[in-house]
Amino acid sequence: MRIDLHTHSTASDGTLSPADVVIEAARAGLDVVALTDHDSAAGWAEAELAAEAAGIRLVPGVEVSTLLGGRGVHVLAYLADVGYPPLAAELAAILAGRSGRLPQMVERLVAAGVDITADEVRAQAGGSPAIGRPHVADVLVAKGVVGDRAEAFATWLGPGGPGYVARYGTPTEVMVRLITDAGGVAVVAHPWGRGSRRVLDAAGLARLRDHGLAGIEVEHEDHGPEDRAALHALATELDLVPTGSSDFHGAGKVGHALGCNLTAPAAFERLLGLAAANATASGRPASGAAAR
Ligand code: AMP
Ligand code: ZN
Ligand code: FE
Ligand code: FE
């Protein structure tokens, strides 16, 4: 069984439609794929139809933007009922924060001498509810200001860059609890990605586990071999489920091909069991994929 639990579509900042992500996942030989767009479930329905047609199992997910001590932490929510009102309200607040910061980002870029408008970025995002820096980056690429998204982040959009504007995120422990109460399971995405090892150490992960955290993403391209080994040991020590995923973004992120990292079948089964238990405990309907 080949299982990839983290992918993005045009419902956030990937470059393939939700259906095409699923079709490509089946083509890549995956048996299970999770669609985990940033802060939005807008791609789920289209992806589910495509999954049925392609004979692959879809796990509905969201990669939620949270904040821990002022630093960003991405939390993967699997199988949660996104209609649970407190969770729906938080996701709406995060998306509003994304849209709200766009004019400020554009203003700063213009002040730094870049010719760009908010409408150009909105057009680039093509109706994605989760407008983000990658869409700004794509406009900069289209205008020839930079060569690719990575250069856009390094030069203009990263923390401290001329176009950087912070945005709203739910406190991490609050979001982990909301996901759990919504009958889903929460998994910290790339916990030590991009030099963030100091944000989440063993004590921090243990605290999140006390709020319901189910797992941590261990196998991810942002983690080198030593970090993977250390995170595996931590997962065992803290009784957290270790997962592995591509974080596929289509052409938007190189080196993240579908299936480049995988989740072990036993780990996936543990997540399904925890989701079912959380759904029962909270009285939320077990989500479609968990019930199948
Ligand atoms: P935002 O969601 O607007 O805060 O933008 C952050 C997103 O941009 C991340 O979730 C990644 O998907 C993407 N990203 C961050 N850094 C880079 C980079 N150096 N190159 C390409 N994409 C990036
Ligand atoms: Zn992304
Ligand atoms: Fe992420
Ligand atoms: Fe991601």
The set of protein residues with a Cβ atom below 6 angstroms from ligand 1 is 13, 38, 132-134, 149-150, 153, 253
CA-nearest of 232, 227, 260 to 245 is 260
The share of the chain scoring above pLDDT 70, in percent, equals 97
Q: What separation in Å is there between the alpha carbon of 113 and the centre of ligand 4?
A: 30
Looking at residues 201-211, what average pLDDT do you find? 96
Looking at residues 234-250, what average pLDDT do you find? 98
Q: What separation in Å is there between the alpha carbon of 133 and the centre of ligand 1?
A: 6
SS3 58: strand
Ligand approaching nearest to the C-alpha of 134: 1
Q: How far apart are the first and last CA of the chain?
A: 16
Token reading at 27: 């083509």
pLDDT of residue 199: 83
pLDDT of residue 197: 72
**DSSP tag of 74:** E
Looking at residues 229-249, what average pLDDT do you find? 97
The share of the chain scoring above pLDDT 90, in percent, equals 92
Q: Tens of pLDDT along 78-121?
A: 999 999 999 999 999 999 999 999 999 999 999 999 999 999 99
Residue with tokens 């080196």: 255
Q: Are 268 and 33 in contact (CB under 8 A)?
A: no
pLDDT of residue 284: 78
How many whole angstroms separate alpha carbon 107 and alpha carbon 103? 6
Beta bridge partners of 59: 34
Q: Tens of pLDDT along 118-156?
A: 999 999 999 999 999 999 999 999 999 999 999 999 999
Nearest CA to ligand 1 atom 11: 134
Q: What separation in Å is there between the alpha carbon of 109 and the centre of ligand 3?
A: 24
Lowest mean pLDDT among 48-62, 79-93, 193-207, 233-247: 193-207
Angle, alpha carbons 71-133-177 (nearest 5°): 40
Looking at residues 242-266, what average pLDDT do you find? 96
Could you tell me where the beta strands, DSSP code E, fall in 129-252? 170-171, 185-188, 215-219, 241-244
Ligand approaching nearest to the C-alpha of 9: 2
pLDDT of residue 287: 62
How many whole angstroms separate alpha carbon 253 and alpha carbon 248? 7
Q: What separation in Å is there between the alpha carbon of 8 and the centre of ligand 2?
A: 6
Token reading at 118: 């908010």
Nearest CA to ligand 1 atom 2: 132
Q: Tens of pLDDT along 4-40?
A: 999 999 999 999 999 999 999 999 999 999 999 999 9
Ligand 1 atom at shortest distance from the alpha carbon of 134: 8
- CA–CA distance from 214 to each of 92, 148, 194, 261 (Å)? 24, 35, 22, 19
Higher pLDDT, 288 or 142: 142
pLDDT of residue 194: 78
Please state the pTM of the whole predicted model.
0.96
Q: What separation in Å is there between the alpha carbon of 226 and the centre of ligand 3?
A: 20
**Mean per-residue pLDDT over the chain, rounded:** 95
Nearest CA to ligand 1 atom 3: 132
Contact partners, residue 72, CB within 8 Å, separation at least 6: 65, 66, 169
- 289, pLDDT greater than 60: no
pLDDT of residue 195: 67
Contact partners, residue 31, CB within 8 Å, separation at least 6: 1, 2, 3, 56, 57
Q: Which H or E element spans position 99?
A: helix 85-111
**Strand 215-219 relative to strand 185-188, pairing:** parallel
Nearest CA to ligand 1 atom 8: 134
